Structure 1
Amino acid sequence: MVRLILLGTLSALFFSSTFILNRAMSLGGGHWVWTSSLRFGYMLVFLSIWIGFSKGSKYLADIKEVFIRHWLFWIMAGSVGFGIFYSLLSFGASYAAGWIVATTWQLTILATPVVLMMFGRKVPTRGLLLIALIFTGILLVNVEYAASATVREVMLSAFPVLVAAFAYPTGNQMVWEAVRGKNGRIPHIESRVVKDSFARVLLLTIGSVPFWIVLILVASPPPPSSSQLISTALVALFSGVIATTIFLYARHLCVRPSEIAAVDATQSMEVIFSLAGEIIFLQGVFPGSIGTTGVALTIIGLVAYTRMQTAK
């Protein structure tokens, strides 16, 4: 369990670059559609080059075969777990500071047990009280934000992130179920490539492509700036490739629902990393007493939750 938590925390460090860079792009006038879609375009290129270089063209051909054989599953999982998740997260960053979005994003810890139950998995009930503590911290952070923002801004930042918080674990759990093949509603995908974290991320990225094409056509955003092209490339590398691969690797190592919940809970560390990064790089303002209390409750809930899971 300790290894899983350490891997999850490391992924949270790289994930935090998302909130910092997305906020920087928003402040620079970058459109949220490009912030989200370009990331996965870069990921498609980065992952294909890396896998082709490290595993060979035959391995890439195997990945292509797995995608074609189960194309509908990968499009659904990629659209939910990557498309809906990240487009809404990028949209929310247009209306609130990165650390606020990062804190609100921790609703995914509350969402994970719900998602697990949706897939017929049992969840330890005693952990739900600590999840409620984390949720209280998130509410306090948004209460402080609401004091200096309009109701519209709060809703446009919080509600999309709420939906994203459910979309991400749903997409990940779909893949987890497909690899293990014990869910009658999801196809059992038997291949060596689905046991590889990089390959799974590439498959989900390919599956999300139709979603991004439709989003760009519908939103018709203005062309991205050169700085947005560079920033999204960095997000794709740090968060999309490195963080996502580490996170999915940790999830793949899980054998019990409680371990999955613990790994997902480590993402609360994104709050600390994002807050520190925004203060250092974007001259962000340290939160007030209510916001600080909210952040503290979120982290205390995380530590207590993971300690409880480790003690089992």
Structure 2
Amino acid sequence: MTRLILLGVLSAFFFSGTFVLNRAMSLQGGSWVWTASLRYFYMLILLAGWLVLAGRTRVLKGVVAAFCRNWCFWTVAGGIGFGVFYALLSFSASFAPGWVVATTWQSTILATPVVLLLFGKKVPRRGIFFTLLIFLGIVLVTVEQATSASLKEVLLGVLPVLGAAFAYPIGNQLLWEVRHGSNPLLPRIRDPVLDDSLGRVLIMVLGSLPFWILLILVTRPAAPSTGQLINTATVAVFSGVIATSLFFKARHLAKTPFELSAVDATQSTEVLFSLVGEIVLLHGSLPGVAGAEGIVLSVVGLALYVRSQTVGEG
């Protein structure tokens, strides 16, 4: 369990760059559509290039073959888990500071048990009280944001994140189900290439491409600036490649719903990393009393949640 937690926290550190850089691009006037989609186009190039340079073309060919055999499933899984998730998260950055988005994103801790139930899994009850602490923290942060922004800005900065909080675990669970589960509604994919962390990320990236292409065609955003191209490339490396690979590795090592929930819970540490990053890099202001209390409740809720799962497993 300790290894899973450490991998999860490390992935959260790199994930936090997403919230800070997305906010930076929003303040510079960049379109959220490019902020979201370019990350995955970069990831495709980076992952494929790395596999070729590392002499692992076998994995690259295996991913393409596995995708073609079940292209419909991977388009759905990647479109939800990577596409819908990140489009909503990027959109919200236009209306709320990065640390607010990061804190609201912790609602995924509440969403994960719901998603597991939808897939017919048993979920741990020991951590319900602690997830409520996390939720209360999110409410306090939202209240503080409401005092400095219009109702429209608050809703557009918070509601999309709540949608993303469900989309991400749904996509991840779809991937987990076809590898470990026996859901009669889903294909059983026991392809060895999915045992590779980069292979799992790459096949989900491929699955998300139709979503991004359709989104660009529908919204027709203005061309991205040079700064946006550079920032999205940075996000692609830190968050898309490093963080996602670490997170998928932790989830891959998880064998029970208890461990899956604990891994997902580590993402609450993104709040602290995002707050520090926004203050240092974007000269953001410290949160007020309500915001600070919300952050504390979210992080404490995470620590107690993970402890409850660890004690229960022992």
TM-score (norm 1): 0.99
Aligned equivalent of 2:158: 158
Letter in 2 for 1:197: S
Contact in 2 for aligned 1:8/1:246 (Cα 8 Å)? yes
Letter in 2 for 1:189: I
Please list, as runs of the form range in 1=range in 2, the aligned pairs for 1:93-172 lying within 5 A after superposition: 93-172=93-172
C-alpha separation between the residues in 2 aligned to 1:60 and 1:102?
33
C-alpha separation between the residues in 2 aligned to 1:53 and 1:73?
29
Task: Give the deviation of 1:51 after TM superposition.
Answer: 1.7
Letter in 2 for 1:87: A
Contact in 1 for aligned 2:126/2:309 (Cα 8 Å)? no
Aligned equivalent of 2:192: 192
Measured against aligned partners, the alpha-carbon deviations of 1:243-298 in whole angstroms (never above 9, x if no partner) come to: 00000000010011010000000000000000000000100000000100000000
Measured against aligned partners, the alpha-carbon deviations of 1:19-61 in whole angstroms (never above 9, x if no partner) come to: 0000000000100000000000000000001122224323211
Aligned equivalent of 1:63: 63
Contact in 2 for aligned 1:80/1:170 (Cα 8 Å)? yes
Aligned equivalent of 2:38: 38
Q: Cα 1:171–1:55, aligned 2, differ >3 Å: closer, same or farther?
A: farther
Aligned equivalent of 1:210: 210
Which ranges of structure 2 fall in alignment gaps of 5 or more residues? Answer: none
Aligned equivalent of 2:226: 226
Letter in 2 for 1:38: L
C-alpha separation between the residues in 2 aligned to 1:288 and 1:144?
7
Task: Give the deviation of 1:160 after TM superposition.
Answer: 0.4
Q: How many residues align?
A: 312
C-alpha separation between the residues in 2 aligned to 1:184 and 1:285?
51
Task: Give the deviation of 1:82 after TM superposition.
Answer: 0.3
Which ranges of structure 1 fall in alignment gaps of 5 or more residues? Answer: none
Measured against aligned partners, the alpha-carbon deviations of 1:97-118 in whole angstroms (never above 9, x if no partner) come to: 0000000000101000000000
Contact in 2 for aligned 1:181/1:187 (Cα 8 Å)? no
Contact in 2 for aligned 1:181/1:189 (Cα 8 Å)? no
- The alignment-based identity, stated in percent, is 58
Please list, as runs of the form range in 1=range in 2, the aligned pairs for 1:211-290 lying within 5 A after superposition: 211-290=211-290
Contact in 2 for aligned 1:179/1:195 (Cα 8 Å)? no
C-alpha separation between the residues in 1 aligned to 2:181 and 2:105?
29
Please list, as runs of the form range in 1=range in 2, the aligned pairs for 1:47-62 lying within 5 A after superposition: 47-62=47-62
Residue 8 in structure 1 maps to residue 8 in structure 2? yes
Task: Give the deviation of 1:231 after TM superposition.
Answer: 0.1
C-alpha separation between the residues in 2 aligned to 1:109 and 1:309?
13
C-alpha separation between the residues in 2 aligned to 1:283 and 1:57?
43
C-alpha separation between the residues in 1 aligned to 2:260 and 2:50?
27
Contact in 2 for aligned 1:86/1:164 (Cα 8 Å)? yes
Letter in 1 for 2:24: A
TM-score (norm 2): 0.98
The alignment's C-alpha RMSD in Å is 0.7
Contact in 2 for aligned 1:99/1:278 (Cα 8 Å)? yes
Contact in 2 for aligned 1:32/1:91 (Cα 8 Å)? yes
Task: Give the deviation of 1:222 after TM superposition.
Answer: 0.3
Secondary structure of 2:51's counterpart equals helix
Contact in 1 for aligned 2:126/2:308 (Cα 8 Å)? no
C-alpha separation between the residues in 1 aligned to 2:205 and 2:181?
21
Secondary structure of 2:182's counterpart equals coil
Letter in 1 for 2:11: S
